[in-house]
């Protein structure tokens, strides 16, 4: 990538525009998938096996 092709953070956010919420949700979902122990800690306990 050439130096002239680089954009700064402000320009990148302007290009994202209305897709910002979608991008944030995708990033959050990816984070939860890639960190299963943290995601598992936040999930409810499985039902007991008292049968």
- Does 28 reside within a domain? yes
- Does 47 reside within a domain? no
- Does 18 reside within a domain? yes
Whether pLDDT at 25 is above 60: yes
Nearest to residue 41, comparing CAs of 49, 50, 32? 32
- Alpha-carbon gap, residue 47 to 51, rounded angstroms: 11
The domain in which residue 30 lies consists of 10-36
- Does 48 reside within a domain? no
- Does 32 reside within a domain? yes
Whether pLDDT at 29 is above 60: yes
Give the pLDDT of residue 19: 79
- Does 30 reside within a domain? yes
List strand residue ranges (DSSP E) for 2-45, in order. none
Average pLDDT for the chain:
76
Q: Give the chain's domain count.
A: 1
- Does 4 reside within a domain? no
Give the pLDDT of residue 27: 86
Average pLDDT value for residue range 28-34: 83
18 versus 44: which is more confidently predicted? Answer: 18
Answer whether 39's CB lies under 8 Å from 32's CB. Answer: yes
């Amino acid at each position: 990538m050439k130096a002239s092709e680089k954009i700064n953070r402000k320009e990148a956010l302007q290009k994202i525009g209305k897709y910002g919420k979608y991008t944030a949700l995708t990033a959050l979902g990816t984070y939860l998938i890639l960190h299963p122990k943290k995601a598992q800690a936040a999930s409810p306990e499985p039902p007991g096996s008292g049968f």
